[in-house]
């Protein structure tokens, strides 16, 4: 069987859909977790998120911010604030994966930047890019990692370049369906990190139930 990297094989959303027999959900209620009944943030959390935004802005004003710095400045702090570093969650970083394509005779190799595991049943995959990349470029690769999770429970993902954020949901079954949230952009009237943390916290609470 041929082996190639995820990034080489998947250049578009259509590529990911064809390789893993995925269909985008037509029902808007399929992925309502990212918008409905989001938890309130405390004053302390708001102050911390404002600090993260200002810190990122400072580095962005100096030029390109690469993937590693995005993780240090933004992603790690958001995971911590959402409670994903504490029990019952386990975190694995830079996890190598080999995914078998459903329709192509090849294995796809890649690495997951952050893999959050809950009792081997729920896994959150975060694929970060540097700030010069369009956040949509990370969606096919992240969907591929999510499609490799062999269970019937929903799998959630977050793609970010530190400036924009997109949440993903995939459910495996007779028809493997996925959908994604609106793009949450940093350049907004309010601090966009508020909404990102609210969604992470909502997913965390949902999984713990």
Half-sphere exposure of 189 (CA within 13 A, CB side): 0
> What's the confidence (pLDDT) of residue 127?
66
What value does the mean pLDDT take over residues 161-173? 88
2-208 in CATH: which number?
A: 3.90.1570.30
In the predicted structure, residue 120 carries a pLDDT above the cut 50: no
Of the two residues 11 and 138, the one the predictor is more confident about is 138
Collapsing DSSP to helix, strand or coil, 3 comes out as: strand
Is the dihedral angle over the CA atoms 81, 77, 166, 173 positive or is it negative?
Answer: negative
Residue ranges per structural domain of the chain: 2-208
């Amino acid at each position: 069987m041929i082996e190639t990297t995820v990034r080489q094989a998947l250049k578009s959303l259509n590529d990911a859909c064809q390789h893993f027999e995925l269909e985008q959900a037509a029902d808007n209620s399929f992925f309502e977790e990212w918008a409905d009944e989001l938890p309130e943030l405390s004053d302390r959390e708001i102050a911390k998120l404002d600090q993260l935004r200002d810190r990122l802005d400072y580095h962005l004003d100096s030029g390109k911010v690469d993937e590693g710095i995005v993780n240090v400045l933004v992603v790690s702090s958001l995971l911590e604030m959402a409670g994903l570093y504490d029990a019952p969650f386990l975190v694995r970083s830079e996890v190598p994966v080999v995914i078998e394509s459903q329709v192509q005779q090849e294995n796809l190799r890649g690495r997951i930047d952050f893999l959050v595991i809950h009792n081997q049943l729920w896994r959150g995959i975060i694929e970060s890019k540097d700030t010069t990349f369009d956040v949509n470029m990370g969606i096919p690769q992240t969907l591929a990692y999510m499609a490799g999770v062999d269970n019937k429970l929903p799998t959630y993902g977050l793609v970010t370049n530190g400036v924009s954020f997109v949440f993903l949901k995939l459910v495996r079954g007779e028809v493997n369906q996925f959908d994604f949230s609106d793009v949450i952009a940093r350049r907004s009237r309010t601090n966009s990190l508020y909404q990102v943390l609210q969604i992470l916290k909502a997913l965390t609470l949902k999984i713990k139930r």
